[in-house]
Structure 1
Amino acid sequence: MTDTSVFPDPVYRDTVLAPLFEGVKTHFADHMDAINRAHLVMLVETAILGREDGQAIAHALDAIAAETDPAALSYTGEHEDWFFLVEAELKKRIGDLGGALHTARSRNDMDHTQFKMALRIRAEEALARLLRLAGALLDKARAERDTLIVAYTHGQPAQPSTFGHYLAAMIEVLLSDARRFDAAIAPLDLCPMGAAAITTSGFPIDRARMADLLGFTSAKVNAYGCIASVDYVTGLYSALKLPMIHLGRVVQDMAFWSAFEVGQLHVPRSLVQISSIMPQKRNPVPIEHMRHIASVAAGRCDVIVNTMHNTPFTDMNDSEGEVQQAGYGAFEHAARVLDLLTAFLPACSINAERVAHTTDAACITITELADTLVRAEGLSFRQAHEIAAATARAVIAAGSPLKQGYAPFATAFAEVTGRPPALTQAAFTDAVDARSFVTRRDRIGGPAPAALDAAFADYDATLDALSAAQSARLARRAAAALRLDAAFQDLKGRP
């Protein structure tokens, strides 16, 4: 049978090739140009290509860059993709020599190299936002170290703590997420160039030089893995998903705390919208936006990871241009959440009056009364718990604050122990005071000032280490870009 069809089929052109071409224009053209320049330098340095030929190709690459406006180009089908467009432009300028640039490489290793180059930019921006949020929360936690709050468990008032203590818990998770994200960036720094299609090349290529010129720490060792292993994708998006999940839980607390019935968190007017019909309403809708944008970001991460599920361990389009571009939306949504939360939480404050009211109404210091009875009266904790429970029931029934409950306490104590308490009324009042409750919890991880200050110092050290590691990576890549430009300009200038 004679096949008279002509590539590309119009439907394939419009549904696949044209969108991919647009994606390269937007996301990858600059990275491909850098790869072309680095590969040319390496070919000449290893004598795979003569210097005179290399110089001619270098000048042609410069001319193409100067004379091509990617934004003005539309996909016509004349060339299969951006790679073949550039190669055709090279041949137009210098003849068959233009095809020499592709010696000892493939679109396979080029693709995964440019995907990593595009991802590492987005990854570093995301990490910078995570660290900026952590820094803002650390500042806020220090400022609110002694600010009392009601800590909730199972949606019910539980014990006194401080806003600084709550934020410290949030910071610990955020820093753990940042460490995981930092670790997920590491595979992006292993260069696939030189893997060619799948098995490297018979030419004496210098893979280390390619990695160095493109700002990678080293070559990714196994050539098969360079084009088949997509762990740099799945690992990165998994690491991006986690802070969206974890911060979403905190955002949900903010919704609960700011509800009228709770009223523990005050959201300033600048972050509150009004109702179009109910004039009394204060709607802290940024909370809802953070919650749903974080969920969208997490969902987009799942899309990318799940796309890799049950795919073959080989070169495949399932991990390439279209999927790579689809993932960038996750970074865009994550950036919005992180930026908004960095502005939102430091602007909020705790309503001390509502905290005090809930503290009294819910008897949330009663645990310390039981602990005090164990220490001061020599009771077992179960005896102390029984007395404390009876005291709480009595004051709640009477609608009185716990600090006024010495009489029902003394009655309960006598009923359980058969003797009057040695604990004085003053000692009782101190035991059930919220500030005393916090101050007594001066253990590692507790809300007391000294314990929190020690934790803050640890968070500072972690934040500094992550920031320093990122700065070193960015500096290394910037220096590599300068080395590449110098080597390329030297090649252009010497015959």
Structure 2
Amino acid sequence: MKLWGGRFKQGTNDLVNDFNSSIRIDKIMFKEDIQGSIAHGRMLGKQGIIPEKSSEKIVDGLNEILIRMENGVISVDPTSEDIHSFTEGTLTHYIGPCGKMLHTGRSRNDQVTLDLRMYLKKAQKETIGYILDLETVIHNKAEENISTIMPGYTHLQKAQPITLAHHLLAYAEMLKRDIGRIQDAYKRTDEMPLGSGALATSTYPIDREFVAKELGFAKVTLNSLDSVSDRDYVIETLSAISMIMMHLSRFSEEIILWCTNEFNFVELSDEYSTGSSIMPQKKNPDVAELIRGKTGRVYGDLMALLTVMKGLPLAYNKDMQEDKEGLFDALDTVNLALRTFAGMINTMKVNKENMRRGAAGGFTNATDLADYLVKHGEAFRTAHGIVGEVVLYCIQENKCIEDLSLEKLKEFSPIFEEDVYEAINLLTCVEERKVFGGPSSQSVKIQLDALEKFIEETEGGL
């Protein structure tokens, strides 16, 4: 069934019908389309725009169709132009000519953005839920590794000793911000556009506030032109999803490195690894690699819609039909990535001794050696130069700083005393960094408590 045609003498070319149709994509919103239509039908009756009995018949019919669709008794007709025409056509089939009253006072232009906003509000909450699941896994894994010393890196070069807990909680902070961005996008998604019509509202006395309340929206949109031509809320959500994937990709890159024989910091569970068809010894981190790869796909979804929207005049244009496929793809991708990544981290074995040995090499305690000199009266820049000479000597002699005798250290500076060895002990290097936000167990426990509180409060608001 087409919702238009009176002005046309010829039928539409079959190829154009197929090209123009969006039913393959927007059928996923059948529930939202029916729920939005129920609220609109009730409003039409309440306002006396259509007879109350007709309104009741429409609402009852739509409720029955929703039940039958959810039970699989009715399926979407693939020849329909879109989900809106399918819903109205199915309703008319079941309740007769009364069904043709449903579209009074609305357009597909405001109807489609209503459906999309309703669908996206639920999807945004679902994605937040999956992020919280991952945050819980990170919290638990960090709690298990408060004392697991590992090298921290800059430029992928060993820099200073930290703990695995501190490292993991860095990603927890990124994910907290990701949740904040989705929550922020939700606020702008939570505006009800129905009643904007094609672009200039309606001459009928419709009650937009009633419909908004029926559908659980915080408020109605203010400008009808903007209402039907706005897809900022989709782009904003895609941007937030892209950030999530970027963070997962960075984390994945580290997992991939840590799994190598060269690092051997972690071992992934067999459940989250694959093998080689030719090399029997291989255990590949395919989950992490796929997340890294699918990040580009989600970036593409974002860029596609930004490109679609960049040159569109007000108000609605058919180009905007391209808003849904990329969004649905990105949502599916990020949700599956979050769920799979959480399982991978949860079952990951940490090779604690290898991490500690990694921190022992690469002079990660060199800064602490310089700090020792500063705390004993040396200027930092001078101390920096002294320790640089110590490191150069160790490289030439293939030794670690702690391997040097006190006599040898005194050749570089007479300030060094026996207590220097305690100062450059890896555990000391970590635990003395008690500054708020640092890697000491004291600071990490504060971060863990904050993360636990964040998870509880966010779950309570879903």
- What TM-score results when the alignment is normalised by the length of structure 2? 0.90
Residues 73/445 of structure 1: CA separation in 2 closer, same or farther (3 Å cut): same
Bigger radius of gyration: 1
**Contact conserved, 1:237 with 1:305, CA < 8 A, in 2?**
no
**Contact conserved, 1:227 with 1:315, CA < 8 A, in 2?**
yes
Aligned to 1:374: 374
Residue 424 (str. 1) matches residue 425 (str. 2): no
Residue 314 (str. 1) matches residue 306 (str. 2): no
Superposed displacement of residue 95, structure 1: 5.6
Aligned to 1:11: 15
Aligned to 2:237: 236
In 1, the alpha carbon distance for the partners of 2:410 and 2:391 equals: 12
CA RMSD, 1 decimal: 2.4
Aligned to 1:177: 178
In 1, the alpha carbon distance for the partners of 2:169 and 2:255 equals: 15
Aligned to 1:480: none
**Contact conserved, 2:264 with 2:354, CA < 8 A, in 1?**
yes
Amino acid of the structure 2 residue aligned with 1:424: E
Residues 255/92 of structure 1: CA separation in 2 closer, same or farther (3 Å cut): closer
Aligned to 1:448: 440
Residue 35 (str. 1) matches residue 36 (str. 2): yes
Deviates more, 1:234-243 or 1:389-398: 389-398
In 2, the alpha carbon distance for the partners of 1:23 and 1:368 equals: 59
Residue in structure 2 matching 1:21, options 23, 30, 40: 23
Partner SS for 1:41? helix
Query: By percentage of residues, which structure has more helix?
Result: 1
Superposed displacement of residue 82, structure 1: 4.5
Superposed displacement of residue 198, structure 1: 1.7
Superposed displacement of residue 428, structure 1: 1.6
Amino acid of the structure 2 residue aligned with 1:459: L
Partner SS for 2:361? helix
In 1, the alpha carbon distance for the partners of 2:8 and 2:17 equals: 17
TM-superposition CA deviations, 1:19-65 (whole Å, max 9, x none): x13334x3122222212211111122222223233234344445655
Aligned to 2:288: 287
Gap runs ≥5 in structure 1: 414-419, 471-495
In 2, the alpha carbon distance for the partners of 1:89 and 1:449 equals: 63
In 1, the alpha carbon distance for the partners of 2:282 and 2:438 equals: 37
Aligned to 2:3: none
**Contact conserved, 1:42 with 1:210, CA < 8 A, in 2?**
yes
**Contact conserved, 1:228 with 1:315, CA < 8 A, in 2?**
yes
Residues 268/73 of structure 1: CA separation in 2 closer, same or farther (3 Å cut): closer
In 1, the alpha carbon distance for the partners of 2:274 and 2:84 equals: 50
**Contact conserved, 2:33 with 2:83, CA < 8 A, in 1?**
no
Deviates more, 1:438-447 or 1:355-364: 355-364
Aligned to 1:166: 167
TM-superposition CA deviations, 1:394-449 (whole Å, max 9, x none): 22322233212133321111xxxxxx33x322x12111111000011000111011
In 2, the alpha carbon distance for the partners of 1:443 and 1:178 equals: 26
Partner SS for 2:150? strand
Gap runs ≥5 in structure 2: 1-6
In 2, the alpha carbon distance for the partners of 1:93 and 1:281 equals: 60
Amino acid of the structure 2 residue aligned with 1:114: D
Aligned to 2:359: 359
Residues 362/268 of structure 1: CA separation in 2 closer, same or farther (3 Å cut): same
**Contact conserved, 1:108 with 1:315, CA < 8 A, in 2?**
yes
Superposed displacement of residue 345, structure 1: 1.8
Residues 86/379 of structure 1: CA separation in 2 closer, same or farther (3 Å cut): closer
In 2, the alpha carbon distance for the partners of 1:329 and 1:311 equals: 23
Aligned to 2:126: 125
The percent identity for this pair of structures is 25
Aligned to 1:399: 398
Residue 200 (str. 1) matches residue 198 (str. 2): no
Residue 344 (str. 1) matches residue 344 (str. 2): yes
Task: Map 1:13-162 onto structure 2 (within 5 A).
Answer: 13-17=17-21, 20-24=22-26, 26-61=27-62, 69-71=73-75, 73-75=77-79, 81-88=82-89, 90-91=91-92, 96-162=97-163
TM-superposition CA deviations, 1:363-413 (whole Å, max 9, x none): 21011010011102x111122112212222222322233212133321111
Aligned to 1:486: none
Amino acid of the structure 2 residue aligned with 1:380: A
Partner SS for 1:160? strand
In 2, the alpha carbon distance for the partners of 1:251 and 1:270 equals: 16
Residues 49/275 of structure 1: CA separation in 2 closer, same or farther (3 Å cut): closer
- What TM-score results when the alignment is normalised by the length of structure 1? 0.85
TM-superposition CA deviations, 1:283-334 (whole Å, max 9, x none): 33322122112332333233233322222231122223x4313321111111
Deviates more, 1:398-407 or 1:251-260: 398-407
Residue in structure 1 matching 2:458, options 462, 466, 469: 466
In 1, the alpha carbon distance for the partners of 2:62 and 2:290 equals: 46
**Contact conserved, 1:179 with 1:466, CA < 8 A, in 2?**
no
Residue 436 (str. 1) matches residue 428 (str. 2): yes
